[in-house]
Structure 1
Amino acid sequence: MLSTWVLVQLTYMAMSIAAGLVLFYVTSQAGRSEKKQQLEESVSLIVNFILYIWAGKIVLNIAVFVTDPLAVLAYPSDANAFYIAVLLLLVNIGYTVKRHKKDLNSILSALVPIFLGSGFVYEFIEIAAHDNMLASWHLGLFLILLVVFLFLRERQVPVVTSGFVLGLWSLGQFILTFQLPYTALYGYTLSRWFMVLVFVLSIISLYITNREKPDKGVTEHN
């Protein structure tokens, strides 16, 4: 029964991620070759993120994993494994940008619409398949974020758009914690401290990006 539940959840996630990839491909203004490269990089990061979740689950249940590995692998991941995966993904992106000289704007311009599209479809599935009306609040939040993203994507660089969208998402999720019994992302129940952390990091990224703009202008003028 548990393995069936895990399989169903993986199917939902696959459908959601596929929708996110489609949203990126449709909304991206990049050329075909560049979009293909961005898709490949994004899929690689998504696969790594899933592996990081499994790694986090193993680390958090290492004693059980040593005695019965299948029991840990078949059991659903919790929010702590998700937090570990997010941290490792950020390290992964930072390493990719610094070591392989990848453009952060290029990475974010793909990951943000994938995140929004997959999140929207996942919440829609929750409502359609499980009649989970709590998901309608999250669905509404993602709908607002999609509108904001579509408005900003041609007016701001991806770093600014990403910071604004993630900041708005974390603020919206934080507000929902006072309206709902719990808030979740991809089925993972999130804590308020995580939303506050995401919001603060988003504000910091926007501040740094905005502060660097005048410096670049002075440099170019000189």
Structure 2
Amino acid sequence: MVITSAIVSIGIIIASVAVGLISFNLLSDWPKAEKKKQIEALTSQLINFVIFVWVGKILLNLSLFIQDPMAVLAYPGDSGAFYLATLFTAIIVVYKTIRHHLDIFAFAEVFAHVFLVASFFYEFMQMVLDNSYSLGYLVLLAILLIIYFSMREHITTLITILAGWTAGMLVLTFIQPFVTVFGYMIDPWFIGLFFIGCLSIMFFSKRKWDA
């Protein structure tokens, strides 16, 4: 039963990300070649993230993994694995940006679109499956999607979306027992750190680009 639930959850996440990618491909007014390039860049980092979640699970449960690998690998990772995967992925993104292998602003815009659409679809499916705690986050995502599609001014929009997501998530942590992102429970400290990290990367990249 637990394994079946895990498979369903993973299936919904995959479907959600697919909807997000398809949505960007259909709705973006970028040239076709640029859309293809940025979708490939984002997909590459998503694959890295999934790999890092598995690495995080192993690192956080190393003694159990040595004794019984399937006891670790057969189930989704917890928040700790999610945090580590986010950190490792951020390091790769920063490295590629510094080496000029990645346009961080284009990447961030694609990520914002895919993340918001995929998250909305995921939380909607959770509501269908009777997860009442998805309602608050679903409303927040709906507001952010309206803002995103109403304001297409690149970095200004990205900062607005980031600030809105951070503020909304922090509010939800006070009025709900917990908040989740794609099924992973998220702590307030991570939300704040994620906000500071994203702003730092964008401002550092902008200064480097303008220099």
Query: Structure 1 length as normaliser, TM-score?
Result: 0.87
SS in structure 2 at match of 1:54? helix
Distance (Å, rounded) in 1 between the aligned partners of 2:200 and 2:94: 16
SS in structure 2 at match of 1:75? coil
Residue 54 of structure 2 contacts residue 81 of structure 2 at CA under 8 Å; is this kept in 1? yes
Distance (Å, rounded) in 2 between the aligned partners of 1:151 and 1:209: 25
Distance (Å, rounded) in 2 between the aligned partners of 1:45 and 1:88: 10
Where does residue 134 of structure 2 map in the other structure? 135
User: In the alignment, does 2:72 pair up with 1:63?
Assistant: no
The one-letter code sitting in structure 1 at the alignment partner of 2:147 is: V
Distance (Å, rounded) in 2 between the aligned partners of 1:160 and 1:48: 28
The one-letter code sitting in structure 2 at the alignment partner of 1:57 is: K
Query: Structure 2 length as normaliser, TM-score?
Result: 0.91
SS in structure 2 at match of 1:49? helix
Deviates more, 1:83-92 or 1:19-28: 19-28
Identity %: 33
Q: How does 1:13-162 map to 2 (within 5 A)?
A: 13-129=13-129, 131-153=130-152, 156-157=153-154, 159-162=155-158
The one-letter code sitting in structure 2 at the alignment partner of 1:88 is: F
SS in structure 2 at match of 1:164? helix
Based on CA coordinates, which of the two structures has the bigger radius of gyration? 1
Structure 1 residue 192: Cα displacement: 0.9
Structure 1 residue 208: Cα displacement: 6.1
Where does residue 4 of structure 1 map in the other structure? 4
Aligned alpha-carbon RMSD (Å): 2.2
User: What stretches of structure 2 of length at least 5 have no aligned partner?
Assistant: none
SS in structure 2 at match of 1:177? helix
Q: Would you say how many aligned residue pairs link Structure 1 and Structure 2?
A: 211
Residue 164 of structure 1 contacts residue 206 of structure 1 at CA under 8 Å; is this kept in 2? no
Match of 1:194 among 172, 190, 194: 190
Structure 1 residue 209: Cα displacement: 7.8
**TM-aligned CA distance change 1:107 to 1:67, over 3 Å:** same
Structure 1 residue 100: Cα displacement: 4.9
Distance (Å, rounded) in 2 between the aligned partners of 1:25 and 1:165: 20
Residue 166 of structure 2 contacts residue 191 of structure 2 at CA under 8 Å; is this kept in 1? yes
